[in-house]
Structure 1
Amino acid sequence: MTSTVSKNGGARASVPKQILNRLDKLDQRFDRLDAKVDAVHRDVLELRAELVSVIDPKYRPLLAVGSRTIACLAVCILAACGGEAEPVAPVQPPPAPPPEQPPVTVRFVYASPSDRPFNAEYSAGIERALVSIREWYGEQLGGRTFTLQSSAPEWCQMAAPHESFITPPGYPYVWDAVETAVQDCVPLASGGDPHVWVVYADVMEPCADSYGLGRGGGGLAFMGAWDLEGLSDPEWDHCGGGVLGFGRWIGGLGHEIGHAFGLPHPPGCDAGLSTCDREALMAVGFVAWPDTYLREDEKKILLEGPFMNTTSSSEGG
Structure 2
Amino acid sequence: MSLRRSRSLTAVALAAALGATAAVTATAAGAAAAGCRVSYTVSSQWQGGFGATVAVTNLGDPLTGWTLRWSFGAGQTVTQAWNATVTQSGAAVSAVNASYNAALATGGSASFGFNGSWTGANPVPTAFTLNGVACTGSTTPSTPATPTPTPTVTTPPTSPTPTPTGPAAVRTVRVFWLKPTDVTYDQRYPDGIAAVVREAQRYYKQELGRTFALNNTVVEVVNGEHDRQWYISTNCEPGGDRYWCVVANMQQELMRRFGIANPDSRWLCVGEISAEDPGQSGGGASTGWVLLSGHDADGAAGVNGPMNRWYGGMVHELGHAFGLPDSTSTDGTPMSASFYNYPDTHFSQAQKNAILAGRYGGFLS
Q: In which range does the TM-score fall when normalised by the shorter chain? A: 0.5 to 0.7
Percentage identity across aligned positions? 24
Task: Specify which of 183, 201, 204 is matched with residue 134 of structure 1.
Answer: 201
Whether 1:117 and 2:117 are equivalent positions in the alignment is no
- Give the letter for the 2:312 counterpart: G
Write the deviation string for residues 69-89 of structure 1: whole angstroms up to 9, x where unpaired. xxxxxxxxxxxxxxxxxxxxx
Select 1:224's aligned residue among 280, 293, 309: 293
1:166 maps to 2:232: yes
Pick from 258, 263, 268 the counterpart of residue 319 of structure 2: 258
Kindly indicate whether the alpha-carbon contact (under 8 Å) linking 1:146 and 1:307 is maintained by their aligned counterparts in 2. Answer: no
Per the normalisation by structure 1, the TM-score is: 0.56
Instruction: Summarize deviations over 1:158-205 as a string: whole Å, max 9, x none.
Output: 111101122223566222211122235422321241111000111133
Give the TM-score of the pair, scaled to structure 2: 0.49
1:148 is aligned to 2:206: no
CA contact under 8 A between 1:251 and 1:288: conserved in structure 2? yes
Query: Which residue matches 1:178?
Result: 250
Q: CA 1:210/1:127 → structure 2, altered by over 3 Å: closer, same or farther?
A: closer
SS in 1 for 2:344: coil
State the 1:286 CA deviation. 1.4
Aligned counterpart in structure 2 of residue 288 of structure 1, from 341, 349, 357: 341
Normalized per residue, which structure has more helix?
A: 1
Separation (CA, whole Å) in 1 of partners of 2:286 and 2:172: 16
Alignment of 1:168-207 (within 5 A): 168-170=234-236, 173-174=244-245, 175-207=247-279
Preserved contact between residue 315 and residue 334 of structure 2 (Cα < 8 Å): yes
Deviations 1:259-309 (A, max 9, x none): 11111012xx2xxxxxx2442101111111111111211100112234354
- Equivalent pair of 2:268/2:321 in contact (CA under 8 Å): yes
Instruction: Give the equivalent residue in structure 1 for 2:352.
Output: 299
- Separation in 2 of the partners of 1:309 and 1:176? 25
Computing the radius of gyration from Cα coordinates, the structure with the larger value is: 1
Residue 192 of structure 1 contacts residue 218 of structure 1 at CA under 8 Å; is this kept in 2? no
Q: 2:184, 2:254 → 1: CA distance?
A: 15
- Check whether the contact 1:104–1:192 (CA below 8 A) recurs between aligned residues: no
Query: CA 1:188 to 1:114, structure 2 compared with 1: closer, same or farther past 3 Å?
Result: farther
Which structure features the higher share of strand residues?
Answer: 2
CA RMSD, 1 decimal = 2.1
Going from structure 1 to structure 2, the CA distance change for 1:188 and 1:130 (only over 3 Å counts) comes to same
Q: Distance in 2 between matches of 1:303 and 1:218?
A: 14
Shift of 1:225: 1.4
The 2-side partners of 1:159 and 1:148 are apart by 26
1:210 positional shift: 4.8
What amino acid is aligned across from residue 256 of structure 1 in structure 2?
A: E
Residue identity in the other structure for 1:307 = G
